[in-house]
Amino acid sequence: MLTVFGSTALDTIRTPKRTLKNVLGGAATFAAISASFFTKPGLIAVVGDDFPKKYHNTLEKYLDIRGLSVLEGKTFRYDGKYDKNLNVRKTLKTELNVLGYFKPSVPKEYQRSDFVYLANNDPAQNTKIIKEFDHVKFSMCDTIEFWIRTKRKDVVKMFKSVDAVVINDEEAKLLTKEDNLVRCAKKIMEWGTKYVVIKKGEHGSLLFYEDLIFSSVGFSVESVLDPTGAGDSFAGAMIGYLESKKKTSISEIKKSIVYGNVMGSFAVERYGLEGLLRLKKSDITKRVKQYGKMASF
C-alpha cells in the first residue's frame, strides 16, 4: 500500500491568461491523484469545515481518504502569481489555517504501508510521522524554499529518514549552498538518503545513486497553461509506479522517473488539477511510448 502525507489546499493561481480562485490543490493532492493511476493511495491531510463537498467527492473518487481530517476552521490557502513566461511563480499569500495546528497520526489501516511519500510539508512533522509506519520498503520526500529558509536543520534531518529525496534545482542549490547540481546531489546523499532526484522543470530531471547519474528529458508539450503541481505529479507518479511493481531496483526507479516526466507533462497542459482529472490510463501508455521514441537514439 502507498500512503501520501502532506497538504490539501484551496489555491488561487494567477497566470497571464487566467486566474483560478479557491480551486482544489495542495502538494499531497497532486501527488496522490497522480499516483492513483498506478495504485490506490491513502491520503493523510487536513481540511477545514469550509472545504467544498465537490472537492471532497473528487478526493474520494481517486483516493482512500480515511486519513483525511476535517477540523473546525478554514482550509489551508495558497495564492500565487506566475510571470508572463510561466517560469517564475511569486507567492502572494500563504494561510496555514487548520494546517497550522494539525496533529497528524497514521490510521491503523495505513500503518502497514510499504511505500510512503512525504509531500512538501513541515519537515519536523514529516520526520515524526514516518516512524509510525511498521514496514516501510521505500520512502520519498520533497521540500520547498519556505522550509529550507525557516527549518533547514529539520529538512536535513528529514532527508536522513527517507530512501529518496525529490527536490527542484534551485532549491537544491539553496539548501546545499552549492552552485553545481552534481555537488548538490552528493552533499544530500552524504546526509543519509540513498537516491536524489533533482527536478529541472521543462528540462527533465537527474537521478543520482552512488556513482550513477541518470538524466531524463522533459516531455515536450505544445501548450503550457499552468505549471502548478507538476513537480508533485512527477513525484506521485514515481512512487505510485514503484508501488504497483513492488520493486525498487535501480532499473525500476529509472522507469518511474519516465512516468514522472509524463505525468508532469499532463499536469501543465490544463489549469489546476484538470490535466490529471481528465486523464485515462490509455493516455499515459500512449505518451510513455512517445517518450520512448523521443528519448532513444
Average pLDDT, the chain: 96
β-bridge partners, 46: 69
* Pairing label, strands 89-95, 77-82: antiparallel
Compute the distance between CA of residue 267 and CA of residue 165 in angstroms, rounded to an integer: 21
* Pairing label, strands 212-216, 205-209: antiparallel
User: Tens of pLDDT along 132-151?
Assistant: 999 999 999 999 998 999 99
Decide if pLDDT at 295 tops 90.
Answer: no
pLDDT band (50, 70, 90) for residue 15: very high
How is the chain split into domains, by residue range? 2-295
Decide if pLDDT at 76 tops 90.
Answer: yes
User: Tens of pLDDT along 88-126?
Assistant: 899 999 999 999 999 999 999 999 999 999 999 899 999
User: Tens of pLDDT along 196-211?
Assistant: 999 998 889 999 999 9
Where are any strands of DSSP class E within 172-277?
195-199, 205-209, 212-216
Choices 3.40.50.300, 3.40.1190.20, 3.30.300.30, 3.30.1050.10: CATH for 2-295: 3.40.1190.20
pLDDT band (50, 70, 90) for residue 294: confident
User: Tens of pLDDT along 162-198?
Assistant: 999 999 999 999 999 999 999 999 999 999 999 999 9
CB 126 within 8 A of CB 5: yes
Residue 195 has a pLDDT of 98
Compute the distance between CA of residue 267 and CA of residue 86 in angstroms, rounded to an integer: 14
Decide if pLDDT at 40 tops 90.
Answer: yes
Decide: helix, strand or coil at residue 52. Answer: coil
Residue 8 phi/psi, 5-degree rounding, is -115, 130
